[in-house]
A and B are shown apart, each in its own frame.
Chain A
Amino acid sequence: MGGKRHKPHNRGSWLYTLPYAIFFLTFVAYPLGFAIYMSLHEWGLISAERPWVGPGNFLTLFRDPLFLTSLANTLLYLAVNLPLTLVCGIALAVALNASFPGRAFFRTVYFLPYVTSTVVVALLWKWMLSTDDGILNGFLRTLGFDGLPWLTSTWLAMPSIAVVVAWKSLGFYVLLFLGGLQTIPRSLEEAAVTDGATWWQRFLHVTLPGLRPAIALVIALSTITGFQVFAEPYLMTGGGPLNSTMTPVLYLYQKGFQSLDFGYAAAIGIVVALVVVAVVLLQRRFLEERTT
């Protein structure tokens, strides 16, 4: 689009962007600046004194055992969530990537949890994973096994939440993988067939390398989701048992809206934001290296 072609009509073009600009300045830019300002102060709700503490909140944060626990919990979450998401997401996408009767049905079914409220997903799984009367343990007992303390033990609660989040978001990632599969040239696949490769060899040597950009994108998006997990632990475990499902955002919520320590909460928010931005940049860099 050359700017020259419709020059006479461009007077006042910027007016079209004015509503968004007003929205952005009021509800994004201003609160962003406000958050940074707050994080540098001791900012409670009760006291009118809001002394400047510089990096004080951040220094306290990185010595705060509970915050460090929430980061460690997130790493455990990612260790379960990422492999599960990649393996199941790619398997379902490859299985869906052909025209056959029932394709639209299955695609829709996988997508249902993604559009469903996190509240519904969290409560439903809390009910199904209940240690005493949950249906999963009921099923295990019928098969002659012992029930497991899915949400009531320090070692299993976070992995359980990681699986629930994977279940909820998988349908969206399946679509991204399907999009990735469609960029793989058919000729590569055909060449592999002529070379006598089995379907598994073709998957390993043609499909998987071709999916690399999609895999990078899904890892980035799941990691970002992982650092923002809130509703699942809030509703399913309350962060327990013994803080084993405490997450950075749940901690932010508790600090800001239960202890009313807004400055500290803003500092947590900034750390979460920096992690997200770092992940986005890393992913971009990874993709650029691949394409050049």
Chain B
Amino acid sequence: MTRIPRIVRYTILTLGGLIFLFPFYFMIITSVSPPGSTGSLVPPSLDFSTWTFIFAELPISWNLLNSVVYTLGVVAITLAIGSITGYALARLSFRGRDTLFAVILFTLALPFQLLMVPLFIMVSDWGWARPGPETYLALIFPMAVNATAIIIFRQFFRGLPQELFDAAYLDGAGNLRILWKIAIPLTRPAFLIATLITFIGPWNDFLWGLLVVRDTYWQPLSVAVGILGSGAHATAGGGNYWGTVTAASTLLAVPVIVLFVAFQRYFVRGVIEDGIKG
């Protein structure tokens, strides 16, 4: 452990803290500044017209709902498929197990941009890339299994003592029963970490959502905010462009930040101890 002088430590940390926190402060402040004084550090008065504007005039509630469905869909499928795959990799033996693990590691190195063009053609051919609930299928399925989550599950299931499994086998329990009654209850933190890591992907996704959803009512929030900010509605909010953009950005940023701050202990431990790629 490097011992460094206290003054150096706190100078670095505080300077860093300011650089990291200020933009968030500025985002929130801009969203509640009256139109004439956007950009000031401390607004003369608070004004929530941008907030009423985005909910009244933009389909932002729909976008929020779409993001919730998109994110929950991806998280649910990742937890279901990821946990049984992780369990099989950690606790069962079958031919091709090592190959399967290598394949999962390989998918981590594969950039999404490469698969994006064919995936777009596939979901278009299947009729999923059009306005309607099919949009959810187009959004969710190509993102459905987060490989990092499988690796986390594998790691947690490997950490369980073998005696536990031996005893259950002797009692005549089958694999499925052992997984459900013993392994899963003992690996709750794995589910939490996998949820956090997976959640960030679809909630913050911009590229895939931008490609497959053109209809503003069916777009996820991140895509809607991006399009709002890229100037399509430059006169939005009575000319208070940045006020409107920061209000929508705040709406997009807050849920993840709250989730992360609430559970950051687990997340931080996961990254530091296992060197997990996020």
A interface residues (Cβ-Cβ under 8 A, vs B): 1, 3, 5-6, 8-10, 12-14, 16-17, 19-21, 23-24, 27-28, 30-32, 34-35, 38, 88, 91-92, 94-98, 100, 102, 104, 106-120, 122-128, 133, 135, 138, 167, 171-172, 175-176, 178-179, 181-182, 184, 186, 189, 193, 199, 202-203, 206-207, 217, 221, 224, 227-228, 230-231, 234-235, 238, 249, 252-253, 256-257, 262, 265-266, 269-270, 272-273, 276-277, 280
Number of chain B residues whose Cβ lies closer than 8 Å to a Cβ of chain A: 93
- The answer to whether A118 touches B204 (Cβ under 8 A) is yes
- The answer to whether A124 touches B222 (Cβ under 8 A) is no
B interface residues (Cβ-Cβ under 8 A, vs A): 1-5, 8-9, 12-13, 16-17, 19-21, 23-24, 26-27, 30, 39, 41, 80-81, 84-85, 87-89, 91-96, 100, 103-104, 107, 109-111, 113-122, 141-142, 144-145, 150, 162, 165-166, 169, 174-175, 200, 203-204, 206-207, 211, 222-223, 225-226, 229-230, 242, 245-246, 249, 252-253, 256-257, 260-261, 264-265, 268, 271-273, 275, 277-278
Q: Complex: how many Å from CA A124 to CA B196?
A: 24
- The answer to whether B246 touches A116 (Cβ under 8 A) is no
Question: How many pairs of residues, A versus B, come closer than 8 Å at their CB atoms?
Answer: 280
- The answer to whether A116 touches B257 (Cβ under 8 A) is yes
Contacts of A120 in B (CB 8 A): 27, 225, 249, 252-253
**A19-B81, A127-B30, A179-B273 as given contacts; A266 in contact with B230, CB under 8 Å:** no
List 5 additional contacts besides A98-B1, A231-B206; criterion CB under 8 Å: A3-B93, A24-B107, A92-B12, A109-B17, A118-B206
Task: Give 8 closest A-B pairs by Cβ, nearest first.
Answer: A34-B118, A16-B88, A269-B114, A31-B118, A117-B204, A123-B229, A13-B92, A3-B93
Contacts of B84 in A (CB 8 A): 16-17, 19
CB distance from A133 to the nearest CB of B (A): 6
- The answer to whether A109 touches B39 (Cβ under 8 A) is no
- The answer to whether A235 touches B226 (Cβ under 8 A) is yes
- The answer to whether A96 touches B13 (Cβ under 8 A) is yes
- The answer to whether B142 touches A117 (Cβ under 8 A) is no
- The answer to whether B39 touches A106 (Cβ under 8 A) is no
CB distance from A109 to the nearest CB of B (A): 5
In this complex, what residue of B is CB-closest to A125?
Answer: B23
Which of B39, B117, B175, B223 has most chain A Cβ within 10 Å? B117
A-B contact pairs, 9 of them (CB 8 A): A1-B91, A19-B80, A20-B104, A34-B121, A106-B17, A110-B16, A122-B226, A124-B23, A135-B39
Q: Which residue in B93, B103, B206 is a CB contact (below 8 Å) of A13?
A: B93
Contacts of A122 in B (CB 8 A): 226, 229
- The answer to whether A94 touches B20 (Cβ under 8 A) is no
**A266-B117, A269-B111, A272-B111 as given contacts; A97 in contact with B271, CB under 8 Å:** no
CB distance from A71 to the nearest CB of B (A): 15
- The answer to whether B24 touches A179 (Cβ under 8 A) is no
Q: Complex: how many Å from CA A199 to CA B91?
A: 46
Which of B16, B206, B242 has most chain A Cβ within 10 Å? B16
In this complex, what residue of A is CB-closest to B259?
Answer: A115
**A117-B203, A124-B27, A276-B109 as given contacts; A178 in contact with B272, CB under 8 Å:** yes
